[in-house]
Amino acid sequence: MKVLLDINIVLDFFMEREPYFKEIKKIFNAVEKRKIDGFLCASSMDTIHYLVQKAYNKKTADDVIYKLLKLFDVTPVTKEVLLEALNSGFNDFEDSIIYSSAYLQGIDFIITRDKKGFKTSKVKVLTPVEFLSKIVD
């Protein structure tokens, strides 16, 4: 099973934001144990780096990206993905790129806390709690 994590999920994990951290840690553990195949969108990486660097420092941001690249595969952002994103009907272009990259790579689930940002998604969108209750034992 292939799951793509939205930016807010990754930030919740590395910044240990409550009340989300506990559930998201279980998802990261499932990826680490290869119970699920974890993906991140290529366009998310610079945003994650920027926000972690802003909250902490560049070294921490670099370390976070390195850890993510060891653990997750990355869906590409190509011309095809960008055209799909423009035609997706999403209000938020960042979300539309994440969705389109997942859709074109055959991802099974997008995990996010912002389901409303993915209303027209053809990929099943779940919150961490929904994902854990339905998928992970």
First to last CA, the chain: 14
The predicted-structure confidence for 87-112, as pLDDT tens digits, reads as follows 999 999 999 999 999 999 999 999 99
Mean pLDDT computed over 6-28: 95
Question: Do the beta carbons of residue 107 and residue 39 sit within 8 Å?
Answer: yes
What are the structure tokens assigned to 92, written together? 């938020």
State pTM to two decimals: 0.92
Q: How far apart are CA 137 and CA 135, in angstroms?
A: 7
Please compute the mean of the pLDDT values over residues 54-59 and round it to a whole number: 97
Identify the burial level of 47 via C-beta atoms within 10 angstroms of its C-beta, where 0-12 means exposed, 13-18 middle and 19 or more buried: middle
pLDDT of residue 127: 96
Q: Which pLDDT band holds residue 134 (cuts at 50, 70, 90)?
A: confident
- Provide mean pLDDT across the span 41-66: 97
